[in-house]
Structure formats: structure tokens, C-alpha cells
Amino acid sequence: MMMRYVAVTLTALALLGGCHKKDDPSEAGPAERAGRKLDQATEQAGAKLDNAAQQASQQLSDAAKDTSQKLDNAADKASEKLNEATKEAGRKLERAGEKMQSAADEREAKK
């Protein structure tokens, strides 16, 4: 168990030894260069994620607008059909009323 702690400590010291600061970036140690590459990769991945999120948001917005327009069109068509059906029902009621009036007039004439 103690050996493990010694190995971890020596590894950490070796890594930290490679991270000495220098004024010239070309003379950076291997850990520092790896850290810079990791930073660059993280920034690039973050930018790609931001771009993907913006594109997804725009696509959702476009889809919502399209769906809204389709729903509006469907509601308009349904309203038109309901109006037509109401008018047709009114015409049929009127014809039935006329027939009833005509039948009543005929009964009155026979008296």
C-alpha cells in the first residue's frame, strides 16, 4: 500500500517537473504543451457545441413557425367547412319548414 503512494507521488513530481514556466512558449515543457493543446481542443469543441446549439435552436424555431402556419391553415379550412355545413343545415331546415307550411295550408284548404 505504501508503495502505491510512493509511485503516485513520484509520478506527480515528474509531471510537475515538466511544467516549469519559461518566457518563450517554444521552450515549454511537454506537460505545458499538452495543456495548451487541451485548452485549444476544449475551445474548439465549445465553439462547435455553441454553433450546433444555435443551429438546433433555429431549426426548432423554423419547425414551430411551420407547424403554426399548418395549424392555422387547418383551422381556417375546418371553419370554412363548418360554415358550409351550417348553411346547408339551414337550407334543409327552411325546406322542411316550407313543406310543413305547405301541408298545413293544404289541410286548411280542405276544411
**Per-residue model confidence as pLDDT tens digits over 58-106:** 999 999 999 999 999 999 999 999 999 999 999 999 999 999 999 888 8
Q: Are 19 and 29 in contact (CB under 8 A)?
A: yes
Q: Which amino acid is at 27?
A: E
CA 102 – CA 58 distance, rounded (Å):
66
Q: Are 31 and 18 in contact (CB under 8 A)?
A: yes
pLDDT tens-digit readout, 6-58: 565 666 666 665 555 555 556 778 888 888 999 999 999 999 999 999 999 99
**CA-based radius of gyration for the chain:** 42
Look up residue 31 and give its three cell numbers. 506537460
- For the entire predicted model, the pTM comes to 0.46
